[in-house]
Amino acid sequence: MRYLTFALAKGRLAKTAMKMFESIGIECEEMKDEKTRKLIFVNEDLKLKFFLAKASDVPTYVEYGAADIGIVGKDTILEEDRKLYEVLDLGFGKCRMCVCGPKSAKELLKNHGMIRVASKYPKIAKDYFYNKKHQTVEIIKLNGSVELAPIVGLSEVIVDIVETGTTLKENGLDVLEEVCPLSARMVVNQVSMKMEDERIRKIITDLKDKISEKVI
Ligand code: PRP
């Protein structure tokens, strides 16, 4: 039996995903040691490997087959636009991709004015404004604390993740439009889906059962 390799987006998603995997018998003792500097973790009995990666790199590992399975947010899947199968909505890490800004920017959006849009997600922002709204805008790529952009006059609006809404509220900004809902997803390499069909399908079915148990 060959190893099945999992790439997990570092941080909260990985922690919740590992709990979910444990509930279906997929576990990795080595990974529980919070102090370890190891990058790859192995479960020899089950022939499984796990590694943590920067979220935006997870789809890359999966597309190239360095990982068979990836756990990553829908935001990253949309932004990276890699060739892979998105097989399951894991139902956690729920939040929304939104156009946000000061209330005064609402008019600019309505009138389809030429505006500047700052975002960590230029592809999602471009797709939303050009293909969905048919509005020409200038997209400015930022790498974090995007809420600053409309406050300091870099852009009129931002396209960013809204979870609790606290960051917006504390900075006098509002959700102006919703782009799409987001949550953690399981993605699979296209070749692995064929070669390891049985093992991967069982994981999907077991996870689906767990997810529906929680809903009921
Ligand atoms: C994300 C996102 C918002 C914030 C939303 O940023 O970009 O800034 O969380 O969460 P809230 O609605 O619960 O306030 P993150 O913390 O990942 O850091 P960043 O701003 O450096 O990108």
pLDDT tops 90 at residue 139:
yes
Among protein residues, the one with the nearest Cα to ligand 1's atom 3 is: 161
Residue with tokens 């399908």: 201
- Tokens encoding 132: 């969905």
pLDDT value at residue 12: 87
pLDDT value at residue 34: 84
pLDDT range class, residue 137, cuts 50, 70, 90: very high
* Euclidean distance between CA atoms 43 and 32, whole angstroms: 12
* Euclidean distance between CA atoms 38 and 16, whole angstroms: 20
* Euclidean distance between CA atoms 131 and 94, whole angstroms: 25
The pLDDT > 90 percentage for the chain reads 88
pLDDT value at residue 215: 57
pLDDT tops 80 at residue 97:
yes
| SS3 state of residue 82 | coil
Supply the mean pLDDT for the chain: 95
Q: Which residues line ligand 1 (CB under 6 A)?
A: 120, 144-147, 160-167
User: Rounded mean pLDDT of 93-101?
Assistant: 98
Per-residue pLDDT tens over the stretch 25-44: 999 988 888 888 889 999 99
Among protein residues, the one with the nearest Cα to ligand 1's atom 20 is: 145
* Euclidean distance between CA atoms 78 and 161, whole angstroms: 13
